[in-house]
Amino acid sequence: MIVTGKGGVGKTTVAVALGLRAAAEGKRTIVCEVSSQENTSRMFDHTAVGFHEVEMEENLWSISIDPDESMREYVLLQLKVRAMRDMLFRSRIFNYLAAATPGLKELVTIGKIWELAQLDRKVKSGRKYDLVIVDAPATGHGVGFLQTPRTFASIARVGPIHSQAQTLDRFITDHENTGTAIVALPEEMPVNESAALERELRDEVGVAVDRVYLNGLYPERFSKPEAERLEGLADGEDGAVRAAARAALSEHRRARSQRAQLARLRRRVEAPVKTLPFLFEPELGPEAARRLSRRLS
Amino acid sequence: MPTLDEVLEGKTICICAGSGGVGKTTTSAAIATGMAAQGLKVCVLTIDPAKRLADSLGLKELGNEARRVKPALFEKQGVEMKGELWAMMLDAKATFDELIARQAPDEESRDRVLENRIYQQISSALAGSQEYMAMEKLFELHTEGQFDLLVLDTPPSRNALDFLDAPKRLTQFIEGRSLRVFMKPTGLAAKVAGRGASVALSVMKRIVGFDLIADLAEFFNAFSGMIDGFQARAKRVNKLLADPETCFLVVCGPQGEPINEAVYFHRKLVEAKLPFGGVIVNKVHYPAEQLRGANPIDLPATLAEKLGDADLAQRVAANFSDYQALAERDARNIKHLASEMRTRGVIRVPYLDEDVHDLAGLAEINRYLFATGEERVAMAAGRA
């Protein structure tokens, strides 16, 4: 399951919530982060996991996929001899070429995701997972990221990397086994962008979007007549009462304008839309993710 | 505390940087609008293909050429526009192609580069090419000198730092000419360089496939005549970024993560000796100043009395305490930000009830962006 969307929409939170949900259902699940920012481990108040599969909770693992580490692992799998791999990595030319080849980093990252998803793991004594969740890089780069295998297959017309890039492209576009979710926010531009992203994923990458998560939806705490009654207090004398009334009206207006955005989103995307509530919590931790995960049934 | 006008006084370039999803595009558009309203001829550049800027400026679409935003649009919103506002969306590929055309010694070498598949990948897909081209366009517009102020909305990077590193990565790649000789594995150079290099190459070939190496070799051959020009230009671009007339504004949101990234980005700016102008925090929950010293326990009772509805009073009070908790978090995070950056110049834009996506919204944001610190607090207190 690939979780994508623009920056700052809560992709990590949704990815972790989906992970918790699957783990609770007894699926052995791993959440992969590709930005080296350790957002996932931080959410669990866990130390940085790095390029290791670390268990966060029962049935739930996490890994931060570093492209350089993926490259080392990949080359070792190709060469089979550690000494040869190490010699290669010491060579300046190899490092230069590896850095210069467009998209190679993204390709080996997707390669690692593919490897994690194999029941017959290439890595020695690798664990078998029922579900691999990818916390994808923010779009702009997101569609480019998922397109890398196809692009690569067309640059390297022959050779082992050509066929492997094709394998990865098939892996990403295999609707039976690979799903995609877009995370959106209930605001004008993010809604437009999510609709555009769905189109791009479908038409250009060939990925089917299974679901759009509208994240951070304000609850409707006050009805319209109630809001009208609060209007009077919002201009009143008493400081605390006035501030509280204004906060309530503010909540009411946001909740309403967000409902309008939700309706727009539903009209503009093909995939079913699922809403996730805004959590009035200063920092989101594992408890918050757990609460969201229960909304994901 | 300096106001945004003071920060931008005498600047010819303003670069808005920050991680994704913090409102960079909106902020860039608002700053450009605000400065144009004061009488400058301003151009705002974005690289975001998501049409965000075009939408917010009421333009149907933007192209690789600057377009003027119609003055009538501002009148409609009651914004007095003394200067001119222009906007453009960078097409990284087109900008790169133009640059090649300019640097190529002749048409044949130009076409050889433009048709090379490695070039086609770098110019559109290679991470960093967008960032590099943004700076390139900035440099070009600055050199032409048609505008008083250029405002750059930096590309949506995974993290803001990519923006600073990208041009270096790309020039390093382009400057890889010393390695061209190794691309011909049978050449004398490979033999001189020794077995290590040729083994590395043969392994690379095994992994990557021969074609790629051949394409790379062809690319470097085609490119060889332009490298000096590129290097000279890159140097001048870097000089422009470090110029005292350039100003970097860090844009972020009030949550822990964006704040940490802003702190990190600021540190990198200082390390790179680039001119930091200030930091803008968007969507801030302002605390209700009136509440200081009041006893919050009284609130539900007082509300119930005024509303004659205990249930509604409870909900209003609970909602208020949720808002206050967010306001406290924001205040805490911003205090941390200010102390890390050793600046008092944090510009806080409140979380408005309506999301900002048009000129009216920009005008609203500008009231906060261009206000003095005291005015902002007063305005926000009037709302919150």
Long-range Cβ contact pairs of B269-275 (< 8 A, separation 24 or more): B269/B164, B272/B164, B272/B242, B273/B242, B274/B164, B274/B241, B274/B242, B274/B246, B274/B248, B275/B242, B275/B243, B275/B244, B275/B246, B275/B247, B275/B248
Q: Nearest CA to B89 among B55, B64, B60, B125?
A: B64
Domain-located, residue A40:
yes
A residues 118-137 near B, CB within 8 Å?
137
Give SS3 for B14. Answer: strand
Q: pLDDT band for B192, please (50, 70, 90 cuts).
A: very low
pLDDT in the model for residue B174: 66
| Residues of chain A scoring pLDDT < 70 | 93, 96-97, 99-102, 139-142, 157, 297
Q: pLDDT band for B205, please (50, 70, 90 cuts).
A: low
B288: chain A residues, CB-CB within 8 Å: 239-240, 243, 246-247
**Dihedral (Cα; A158, A159, A163, A169), 10-degree rounding:** -70
Strand partners for A61 = A30, A55
pLDDT in the model for residue B185: 47
Q: In Å, how far from its chain's centre is CA B53?
A: 12
Cβ-nearest to B290 among A97, A188, A240: A240
Domain-located, residue A209:
yes
B323: chain A residues, CB-CB within 8 Å: 247, 250-251, 280
Which of A78-82, A156-160, B272-276, B341-345 is modeled with the greatest confidence?
B272-276
Cβ-nearest to B384 among A155, A246, A281: A246
Give the domain CATH number at A170.
3.40.50.300
Chain A: give the shortest CA distance to residue B163, in Å.
13
Chosen CATH of B4-104+128-164+244-290+322-383 out of 3.30.70.330, 3.40.50.300, 3.10.100.10, 3.90.550.10: 3.40.50.300
Give SS3 for B235. Answer: helix
Domain-located, residue A247:
no
Does the pLDDT at position B195 exceed 80?
no
Domain-located, residue A39:
yes
pLDDT in the model for residue B190: 45
Spatial separation of the C-alpha atoms in residues B300 and A217, rounded to whole Å: 26
pTM: predicted TM-score of the whole model, two decimal places: 0.86
Does the pLDDT at position B315 exceed 90?
yes
Does the pLDDT at position B159 exceed 70?
no
Mean pLDDT throughout B117-144?
79
Structure tokens at B332: 């805490």
Domain-located, residue A205:
yes
Does the pLDDT at position B56 exceed 90?
no
Q: pLDDT band for B329, please (50, 70, 90 cuts).
A: very high
- At B20-45, the pLDDT tens digits run 778 888 899 999 999 999 999 999 99
Domain-located, residue A72:
yes
Cα A135 to Cα A37, B323, B356, distances in angstroms: 11, 29, 28
Chain A: give the shortest CA distance to residue B299, in Å.
7
Name which residue leads in pLDDT, B77 or A265: A265
Task: Determine how many CB atoms are found less than 10 A away from the CB of residue A273.
Answer: 18
A residues 263-292 near B, CB within 8 Å?
280-283
pLDDT in the model for residue A56: 92
Mean pLDDT throughout B332-341?
93
Structure tokens at B317: 């009070």
Structure tokens at B155: 């590309």
pLDDT in the model for residue B291: 53
Q: pLDDT band for B193, please (50, 70, 90 cuts).
A: very low
B207–A162 CB contact, under 8 Å: no
Count: domains in chain A: 1
Mean pLDDT (chain B, rounded):
81
Does the pLDDT at position B82 exceed 90?
yes
Is the minimum CB–CB distance between A63 and chain B shorter than 8 Å?
no
pLDDT in the model for residue B191: 46
Spatial separation of the C-alpha atoms in residues A262 and A230, rounded to whole Å: 25
Q: Tell me what percent of the residues of chain B surpass a pLDDT of 90.
A: 28
Q: Which residue of A has its CA nearest to B181?
A: A93
Spatial separation of the C-alpha atoms in residues A165 and B252, rounded to whole Å: 37
Name which residue leads in pLDDT, B64 or B178: B64
Q: Which residue of B has its CA nearest to A245?
A: B316
pLDDT in the model for residue A32: 95
Spatial separation of the C-alpha atoms in residues A195 and A268, rounded to whole Å: 6
Domain-located, residue A59:
yes
Does the pLDDT at position B333 exceed 70?
yes
pLDDT in the model for residue B113: 87
Of A36-40, B190-194, B208-212, which gets the smallest average pLDDT? B190-194
pLDDT in the model for residue B119: 81
B20–A6 CB contact, under 8 Å: yes
Q: pLDDT band for B176, please (50, 70, 90 cuts).
A: low
Q: Which residue of A has its CA nearest to B172?
A: A100
Q: Which residue of A has its CA nearest to B332?
A: A282
Chain B: give the shortest CA distance to residue A25, in Å.
30
Each domain of chain B, given as residue ranges in start order, spans: 4-104+128-164+244-290+322-383
Structure tokens at B176: 């890889």
A residues 134-153 near B, CB within 8 Å?
137-141, 144, 151
Q: Which residue of A has its CA nearest to B155?
A: A140
Domain that holds residue A177: 2-218+277-294
Q: What are phi and psi of A134, to 5 degrees?
A: -110, 120
Domain-located, residue A168:
yes
Chain B: give the shortest CA distance to residue A20, in Å.
22
Sheet holding B84-89, edge to edge: B67-68, B84-89, B41-46, B149-153, B13-17, B246-252, B276-284, B346-350
pLDDT in the model for residue B162: 64
Sheet holding A29-33, edge to edge: A54-57, A60-64, A29-33, A131-135, A2-4, A180-184, A209-217, A273-277
Task: Determine how many CB atoms are found less than 10 A away from the CB of residue B4.
Answer: 24
Spatial separation of the C-alpha atoms in residues A101 and B219, rounded to whole Å: 12
ipTM associated with this complex? 0.85
Strand partners for A29 = A60, A131
